[in-house]
Structure 1
Amino acid sequence: MRPERRRVVLSLGSNLGDRFDTLQGAVDALFDAPGLDFVAVSPIYETDPVGGPEQGPYLNVVVVAETAFGPRTLLERAQGVEAAFQRVRRERWGPRTLDVDIVTVGDERSDDPELTLPHPRAHERAFVLRPWLDVDPDAELPGRGRVADLLPGLEDQGVRRTDRVLQTPE
């Protein structure tokens, strides 16, 4: 029996080095190996950092894909891509070359401290919800509701759409 395919939402951000090239490389790397099928990538947003120390602005995108991978396998793929871009975890919410967060894996819910699903702070972050809404106007965050209904309270978070776009993976 074939495993069920589910839609997954990933949030990618970078605020060190060549942020655009890092995001493009990360999207390419996520889809280089089989098992994750590309659906959409959002426009790029430049965003003010949320929490943590003084640091420069981020570039953020949301990627939507389909997969039969379980959450743990998806986490391993995401962390492998972060490592390929020299992600270093020195301080919580500190600057980084690349951050790949798993926002949702279908409707799955989990309180596992290594991978809480849906992402425990996604509903509070315009840099996740705004680009997600761009690629899926009917998006819902499990347990929280429609993304379109969550976003209005977050408009003051310094999220600015850029005119740059990433190439979609082949």
Structure 2
Amino acid sequence: MGIDPQMGQQTRPVRALIALGGNLPWQDIAPELLLPKVFDALDGDEIRVLARSSLWRTPAWPDPSAPAYVNAAAAIETIMNAEALLQRLHAIEWEFGRVRGEGRNQSRTLDLDIVDFGGQQIDMPDLTLPHPRAASRAFVLLPLQEVAPDWCDPVSRQEIGALIAALPDSDVSACVRIG
């Protein structure tokens, strides 16, 4: 796959999978109303949204007394390279009130993660692909299955259905489709 390193772009489009989530309102917009706006913000000149999942509600972790999360997934096509895409996702998070530097599991208005980038395995200081924890998270896999039912984890080579089947039933049943 050819990359133009000066432009941060691929010479051919790549399919990527993005996980979306949040549990805090932004400008009085609840997460279930915010994520559709985020799907729209993703779609642009260098990113084309191919598919959008339903919204899913999941309990906060590790503190279940925190507001529940709303999660979703998008299949996109992009001419950006993985690093440039990550930078764009961080910019969109900022636009929607995300303050980086919070702890990994802290409540937030928006979290955007690259789950997969054209099946590539990337290990860089700020970017590991596929996402190292996605294959063990029901709140990522259930929405992801809606937009990429054929997805296979590039590391384990397991299909998404097998990954979901291997999750604890309590994790799967805690995720509720809301729209």
Does the TM-score normalized on the shorter chain lie above 0.5?
yes
Query: Which of 48, 53, 70 is residue 59 of structure 1 equivalent to?
Result: 70
1:47 partnered with 2:58: yes
1:107 partnered with 2:119: yes
Deviation of 1:34 after TM superposition, in Å, equals 0.6
Paired letter, 1:130: L
Deviation of 1:52 after TM superposition, in Å, equals 5.8
Query: 1 or 2, which has the higher strand percentage?
Result: 2
| Correspondence for 1:117 | 129
Deviation of 1:56 after TM superposition, in Å, equals 1.3
| Correspondence for 1:13 | 21
| Correspondence for 1:24 | 36
Deviations 1:67-101 (A, max 9, x none): 12100110011000000011013222100000001
Matched ranges for 1:109-148 at <5 A:
109-144=121-156, 145-148=158-161
Paired letter, 1:146: E
Decide whether aligned partners of structure 1 residues 52 and 105 sit closer, same or farther in structure 2, where only a CA change above 3 A counts.
farther
Deviation of 1:153 after TM superposition, in Å, equals 2.4
> Aligned partners of 2:31 and 2:84: how far apart in 1?
26
Q: Which structure 1 residue ranges, 5 or more long, are not aligned?
A: 165-170
1:4 is paired with a residue of what secondary structure? strand
TM-score by length of 2: 0.85
1:140 is paired with a residue of what secondary structure? coil
> Which shows bigger deviation, 34-43 or 48-57?
48-57
> Aligned residues, how many?
162
Q: Which structure 2 residue ranges, 5 or more long, are not aligned?
A: 3-9
> Aligned partners of 1:16 and 1:146: how far apart in 2?
32
Paired letter, 1:87: R
1:156 partnered with 2:170: yes
| Correspondence for 2:48 | 37
TM-score by length of 1: 0.89
Does the 8 A contact of 1:9 with 1:105 survive in 2? yes
> Aligned partners of 1:143 and 1:85: how far apart in 2?
32
| Structure whose CA Rg is larger | 2
| Runs of 4+ off more than 6 Å | none
Paired letter, 1:153: A
Does the 8 A contact of 1:53 with 1:93 survive in 2? no
| Correspondence for 2:11 | 3
